[in-house]
Amino acid sequence: MMVDLFASRVETIRDGVVLLRAFADPRILLPLIDAIASVAPFRSMTVPGGKSMSVATTSCGERGWISDARGYRYESVDPLTQRPWPAMPVEFRTLAVGAASRAGFAGFDPDSCLINRYAPGARMGAHVDKDERDFDQPIVSVSLGLPARFKIADAVIPLSDGDVVVFGGPARTAKHGVSPVVAGPLPYRFNLTFRRAG
Ligand code: SIN
Ligand code: FE2
């Protein structure tokens, strides 16, 4: 009998929440993040209440997620540079589409990748991803660097470098967030969130 080792890495956490441990290769992704940030620098966005987010953020792809005093939305031009967001690297897209497919969401077609950088102490408050047009498409979330505790619905998932979470279907509008990142041997945690925004 053939044993499918690849399939054994697919873990269903809840209906619509799938964990793919060590699915992403940080050695490939981190230099690409650096290249994107050299064109569209990381910045701390302001939320409508006036506070700054603790994570630093940039984007690539046709659309980038932004927040300012007017609210949350997607824009095709980076407000910091007044230039289009850098293109989504093919390695990013292949990873996101492959992860979605492994998780049972064939045909994922992301047009946006939000890149969050967490220094120790940075966190992401509980929220729902609801600025996208099409909730039929899942969210693919890639963790790199320092570990984190990711909370989604009533589950807490400890995430390490290279782990990927896919949430869609019944979990597409599940509340999720990240506990404050703890200092460790690496400077940051990065998270890539792939979405179909437009
Ligand atoms: C997010 O929900 O935008 C980020 C999630 C994460 O950093 O794991
Ligand atoms: Fe989110």
Question: In the chain, helix, strand, coil percent, each to 5?
Answer: 15, 35, 45
Is there an atom of ligand 1 within 6 Å of 150 CB?
yes
Chain position carrying tokens 């929440």: 17
Relative to the CA of 139, which ligand 1 atom is closest? 2
Number of Cβ atoms within 10 Å of the Cβ of 145: 23
> Residues 25-37: pLDDT tens digits?
999 999 999 999 9
Q: What is the mean pLDDT of the chain?
A: 95
> Residues 47-87: pLDDT tens digits?
988 899 999 999 999 999 999 999 999 999 999 999 999 99
User: Does any domain span residue 2?
Assistant: no
Is there an atom of ligand 1 within 6 Å of 57 CB?
no
- Indicate whether 144 pLDDT > 90: yes
User: Does any domain span residue 1?
Assistant: no
User: Does any domain span residue 129?
Assistant: yes
Per the structure, the count of domains in the chain is 1
Q: Which amino acid is it at 148?
A: A
The CA–CA distances, whole Å, from 69 to 48, 85, 194 equal 4, 21, 24
Ligand 1, atom 7, lies closest to the CA of 191
Number of Cβ atoms within 10 Å of the Cβ of 53: 17
Determine the distance separating the centroid of ligand 1 and the alpha carbon of 126, expressed in angstroms.
Answer: 9
Residue 167: give the domain boundaries. Answer: 9-195
User: Does any domain span residue 3?
Assistant: no
User: Does any domain span residue 4?
Assistant: no
Q: What is the pLDDT of residue 7?
A: 54
Instruction: Average the pLDDT over 101-111 and give the result.
Output: 97
Determine the distance separating the centroid of ligand 1 and the alpha carbon of 1, expressed in angstroms.
Answer: 39
> Could you give the CA distance from residue 150 to residue 156 in angstroms, rounded to a whole number?
6
> Could you give the CA distance from residue 190 to residue 195 in angstroms, rounded to a whole number?
16
> Could you give the CA distance from residue 3 to residue 145 in angstroms, rounded to a whole number?
30
User: Does any domain span residue 150?
Assistant: yes
Q: Output the domain CATH number for residue 160.
A: 2.60.120.590
Relative to the CA of 148, which ligand 1 atom is closest? 8
- Indicate whether 192 pLDDT > 60: yes
Q: Select from 59, 66, 63, 61 the least CA-distant residue to 76.
A: 63
> Could you give the CA distance from residue 107 to residue 42 in angstroms, rounded to a whole number?
30
Q: What is the pTM of this model?
A: 0.95
* Measured CA angle at 196 (ends 10, 152), to 5 deg: 50
> Could you give the CA distance from residue 171 to residue 184 in angstroms, rounded to a whole number?
31
Determine the distance separating the centroid of ligand 1 and the alpha carbon of 85, expressed in angstroms.
Answer: 19
